[in-house]
Amino acid sequence: MSDPKVDLLKKVPLFAHCSPTSLESAAANTDEVDVVAGRTLIRQGEPSDTFYVLLDGEADVVIGGESRRKLGPGDFFGEISMLDRGPATATVTTTRPSRMMVMSHMQFRDAIKGNQDLLIQVLASVAERLRADTIAGLKTR
């Protein structure tokens, strides 16, 4: 029998290259939540301890007071703070009612512990996101 959480994670680019065992491990470490529109989930500069995968809905990413991008189904955020529990690099607010899979810091660590493929994907996405945000910030100056 197929696990609905595993089926959802398979559709998320971050998890696309994970083995079935890795997907099952990640799915076991997530909770599904519904979020109303207008809820700020992460605030730039404040500590964050949650990783989010947007399953349905939409969110806005704001850096330094400027909207940088819209997130939709399959997008994720919060992974940078998950790595070091440092301050968030952006503010993320839902713009439509949304359904998400979430992981606490401990759940995230358990999911990537011993899962080199997932850890590499997370680090690559962090590098890509930071580079894009830096380049966008340079263009607005």
The pLDDT tens digits along the chain (141 residues) read: 577 888 888 877 777 777 788 788 778 888 899 999 999 999 999 988 888 989 899 999 999 999 989 999 888 898 877 777 788 989 999 999 999 999 888 887 777 776 777 778 778 877 887 787 777 766 665
Give the Å distances, CA to CA, from 126 to 37, 77, 81, 123. Answer: 26, 10, 10, 5
Return the pLDDT at 99.
Answer: 94
The C-alpha angle with vertex 98 and arms to 107 and 27, in degrees rounded to 5, equals: 30
The total number of structural domains in the chain stands at: 1
Residue 56's CATH number: 2.60.120.10
Return the pLDDT at 84.
Answer: 77
Boundaries of domain holding 42: 4-139
